[in-house]
């Protein structure tokens, strides 16, 4: 989890922004909270900085019905802060024991879904990001990638079936490719298809992929 600082005005640089609003963020937390709001059950397992922001984030999880028994506070770490810039069209730009957990979840009969949630500035290099993302690829039963992530992982600038299916592995049950305003494509072992997007006035796309995964996980 982290704290997003979102400018009060879009279409300007961080230096030009007159002010920022703080908001709880982080894809796993976004998904967990939204699942509980849709009537499901969710828990957050992870580590937060032992500071005011960390305690605030844990409190927000708990207030929204997310179990926080697995949350640890680290006195040697500070809660991450991310400054988000909004382009004029609403698109966002970020500056800024998984294997054991998967093993325990699988043993408990949980469905393992994977959203790489690629943030290249957080990695030492693009090569390292690709290597680490793919290192646990074949453990997931459901995978969701964006069109940008598909290009990054395959090295191809083509967003088509051939490119998507190059990421398929034998243990996979469903592969989802989100296409922004164009909707999404889906692939299973026996069929594939696409769903058109809804036409809405875009204000801020931050968390759009999280919301997509929320509805999928809550209704699976």
List, by residue number, the catalytic residues. Answer: 210
Nearest CA to 146 out of 88, 192, 71, 205 is that of 205
Matching residue, tokens 């999404």: 184
Torsion of CA 143, 46, 214, 67, to 10 degrees: 140
Alpha helices in 70-170 (DSSP H): 98-107, 126-135, 147-154, 161-165
H/E stretch holding 146 reads strand 142-146
Could you give the CA distance from residue 74 to residue 150 in angstroms, rounded to a whole number? 34
Q: How many helices (H) and strands (E) does the chain have?
A: 7, 11
For CA atoms 71, 74, 78, 80, give the dihedral sign: negative
């Amino acid at each position: 989890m982290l704290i997003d600082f979102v400018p009060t005005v879009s279409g300007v640089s961080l230096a030009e922004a007159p002010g920022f609003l703080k908001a709880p963020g982080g894809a796993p937390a976004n998904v967990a909270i939204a699942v509980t709001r849709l009537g499901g059950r969710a828990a957050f397992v992870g580590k937060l900085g032992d500071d005011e922001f960390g305690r605030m984030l844990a409190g927000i999880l708990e207030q929204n019905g997310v179990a926080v028994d697995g949350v640890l506070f680290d006195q040697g770490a500070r809660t991450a802060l991310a400054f988000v810039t909004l382009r004029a069209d609403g698109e966002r730009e970020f500056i800024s024991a998984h294997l054991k957990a998967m093993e325990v979840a699988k043993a408990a009969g949980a469905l393992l879904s994977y959203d790489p949630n690629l943030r290249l500035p957080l990695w030492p290099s693009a090569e390292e990001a690709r290597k680490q993302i793919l290192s646990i690829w074949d453990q997931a039963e459901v995978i969701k990638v964006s069109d940008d992530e598909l290009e990054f992982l395959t090295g191809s600038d083509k967003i088509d079936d051939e490119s998507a299916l190059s990421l398929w592995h034998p243990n996979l049950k469903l592969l989802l490719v989100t296409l922004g305003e164009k909707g999404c494509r889906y692939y299973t072992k026996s069929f594939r298809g696409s769903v058109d997007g809804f036409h809405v006035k875009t204000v801020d796309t931050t968390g759009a992929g999280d919301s997509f995964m929320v509805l999928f996980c809550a209704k699976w």
